[in-house]
Amino acid sequence: MLKKLSLALALLACVTSPLLAGEKESKETAKEFVERIQEEGKALAKEVEAAYWVRQNFITKDTAVLAAKAGERSLAFESNMVEQAKKYKGSDMDESTARAIELMLRGSAAPAPNDPKLQAELAQVLTDMEGQYGAGKYCNADGECRELQELEKVLRESRDYDELLDVWQGWRTVSPPYRKTYQRFVELGNQGAQDSGFKNLAEAWQSGYDMKPEEFTTEARRLWTQVKPFYDELHCHVRAKLGEQYGQDKVPANGPIPAHLLGNMWSQTWDNIYPIMEPHAGVASLDVTSALEKQGYDEMKMVRTAEAFFTSLGLPELPESFYENSLIKKPKDRNVVCHASAWDLDNGNDPRIKQCVEINEEQFGTLHHELGHIYYYLMYKDLPSVFKGGAHDGFHEAIGDTIQLSMTPGYLKEKGLIDEVVESPEATLNKQMKLALEKIAFLPFGKMIDEWRWKVFSGEIAPEDYNKGWWDLRTEYQGIEAPVERTEADFDAGAKYHIPGNTPYTRYFLSFIMQFQFHKALCEKAGHTGPLHECSIYGNEKAGKALGDMLALGQSKPWPDAMEALTGQRKMDGSAIIDYFAPLNAYLKEQNKDRQCGW
């Protein structure tokens, strides 16, 4: 995950300074204004970033005070910046300066109200919610307390219906205490958005894609329409197999799937239930977790192996400070926010990750995802601060996942993580099933989280309907349902980090579309001629150069320019997903021909 506080001056809620207390008395040109903002923004960057880093790594009352005060100064800076930038809109300026002004006016995920008291309250609210989530744990009736990582392990490994239900419900006891706090955040965020010139926070978020908000929402719907038929086939097959596993009394053949049976705390990816779904039992073992354990991988070797993929493309080695300053192993002596994230500290000179690495395949993939962010930081490091960011936020999320698509059986064998490469239709179906349970299952989840927030921000979902609205959308998009009755005393949306952490989520939906589009383009540049799912760009410096050149653009140009530079296309496109998964799609249609699909 791209840490929202690390988008440099393009999102000045994080790289901020108290120096912009008022306007310069002398008249500035737009270019001079941008240059001054960048310099003043750097002045307190280290202090602000350090405050947030320490807060996530040492969750205490003291670090909450430090982070909230830093956030308060950030919000004040941003509010002043936006107000001043508005004055240059529409005036004559060079192309680069115009781009910089445009990016400043987009603000951040939590635009600051103009009122200093509300700025302070917003900073405190955000700090409190994230801290409560990070310190969350579930204590059962016997007094046994487990943190999220331990609960997730149960969901990954257990096939006991009641045990799964217990930990699923248990984690959702963490979020109700900050439901009212979230409601207050919505009020403050909307006020900040209105003070910045938007109708509400939904419109502000939808305005960050080099197109009008209504055009963006239409584009997102178009992309979902491209891939939904494939998702529907996958859902139908998964439901049938789960019905065989648990009984149709628990998993009805024509309804939504109970949310706790999909191997993940939020039912966002389903690859942990691959053993139930494996098309051809025992063909081409894909048990990477066992291989990592048997070969004695520790947390550091996991990270070094992920780095080696990027350097094989001709991209630079990570600075030694990365390993010195990152949090890679969960501390035993304190609470930390374990949700994986990448951080761009000190204006690109101190990139880090924060991840409580576990020795399993999922975490191995997550490391490649986080290093995708780190390499984006490294490649645009020399740009002016205001252009340090992804072409849009989905680009930043797509890079590491694009690399994951090249972790083919051939690559895994080269790394000694599988014994042999089995080339057969059966082996292909197994590999594709496992990947689809991760990538395709995620798509509607990636879409619906911000659909819920946009409706909350606009008032379409009222505070008294937060939980109902959440489950209505989960059923509509994903075809899943809560396994037990949920009420408005619950706050199930808040059990997902990105809600209390206020991280926009449409970026992930877009990235899961674009990573296949990027993969196809890179494979073409690498000279690959076979089926798309067999391609790995590992070790191909020609593909690496094309990727690095695109990353180096940062957000200096509108995203269609960056897309065209890598793919030759100027639109996001889901057709590469259909190409990639053609064998599995055919298999699913055959399996489902006598089933009643839909819900």
C-alpha distance from residue 111 to each of 69, 135, 313 (Å): 16, 26, 38
Of 524, 572, 513, the closest CA to residue 547 belongs to: 524
Query: Average pLDDT, stretch 58-64?
Result: 91
pLDDT surpasses 50 at 134: yes
> What are the extents of the domains in the chain?
239-445+504-591
* Cα–Cα distance for residue pair 30/200, rounded to 1 Å: 27
CA-closest candidate to residue 100, choices 554, 560, 564: 554
Model confidence at 2, pLDDT cuts 50, 70, 90, reads low
Percent of the chain at pLDDT exceeding 70: 95
Rounded to the nearest 10 degrees, what angle do helices 61-86 and 179-195 cross at?
20
Average pLDDT score over residue span 354-381: 94
Least confident span in 50-64, 69-83, 220-234, 376-390: 69-83
The pLDDT-based confidence of 219 (bands split at 50, 70, 90) is: very high
Distance separating alpha carbons of residues 199 and 409, to the nearest angstrom: 49
The DSSP annotation for 37-65 comes to HHHHHHHTHHHHHHHHHHHHHS-SHHHHH
Q: Is residue 574 pLDDT above 90, yes or no?
A: yes
Residues in the chain: 599
- Tokens at residue 356, please? 């409580």
pLDDT at 11 over 70: no
Q: What is the mean pLDDT of residues 25-52?
A: 84
Q: What is the pLDDT of residue 5?
A: 44
Output the pTM of the full model: 0.90
What pLDDT digit, counting tens, does each position of 164-199 carry?
A: 999 999 999 999 999 999 999 999 999 999 999 999
CA distance 525 to 532: 13
Q: What is the pLDDT of residues 417-445, one digit of tens each?
A: 888 887 899 999 999 999 999 999 999 99
Mean pLDDT for 20-24 is 43
**For residue 270, what pLDDT is reported?**
97
Q: Which residues are CB-contacts of 506 (< 8 A; sequence separation ≥ 6)?
A: 205, 220, 393, 394, 446, 447, 449, 450
pLDDT of residue 503: 93
pLDDT of residue 508: 94
Between CA 221 and CA 216 the distance in angstroms is 9
Amino acid 491: pLDDT? 98
Instruction: Give, for 300, the enclosing helix (H) or strand (E).
Output: helix 299-312
The pLDDT mean for the chain works out to: 92
Q: Point out which residues pair with 354 in neighbouring strands.
A: 327, 341
**Could you tell me which residue, 335 or 217, shows the higher pLDDT?**
217
Predicted local confidence at residue 513, as pLDDT: 97
pLDDT at 569 over 90: yes
State residue 12's pLDDT score.
Answer: 37
Per residue in 321-351, pLDDT (tens digit) is 999 999 999 998 888 888 899 999 988 899 9
Residues 294-321, mean pLDDT to the nearest whole number = 96
- How large a percentage of the chain has pLDDT more than 90? 78
For residues 490 and 23, the model is more confident at 490
Q: Could you report the per-residue pLDDT of 235-282, keeping only the tens digit for each?
A: 999 999 999 999 999 999 999 999 999 999 999 999 999 999 999 998
343 forms beta bridges with 352
Q: What's the pLDDT band for 14 if we cut at 50, 70, 90?
A: very low
Judge whether residue 79 has pLDDT over 70. yes
Exposed e or buried b per residue across 415-454, where buried means at least 16 C-beta atoms within 10 angstroms of its C-beta: bebbeeeeeeeebbbbbbbbbbbbbbbbbbbbbbbbbbbb
* Joined tokens for residue 341: 């994230």
| Continuous H helices in 158-200 | 161-171, 179-195
Among all residues, which ones are annotated catalytic?
Answer: 339-340, 369-370, 373, 397, 498, 508
23: pLDDT confidence band, cut at 50, 70 and 90? Answer: very low
pLDDT of residue 15: 32
Q: Considering only CA atoms, which of 69, 86, 190, 56 is closest in space to residue 120?
A: 69
Element housing 147 (H / E) = strand 145-147
Which has the minimum average pLDDT: 19-28, 46-55, 284-293? 19-28
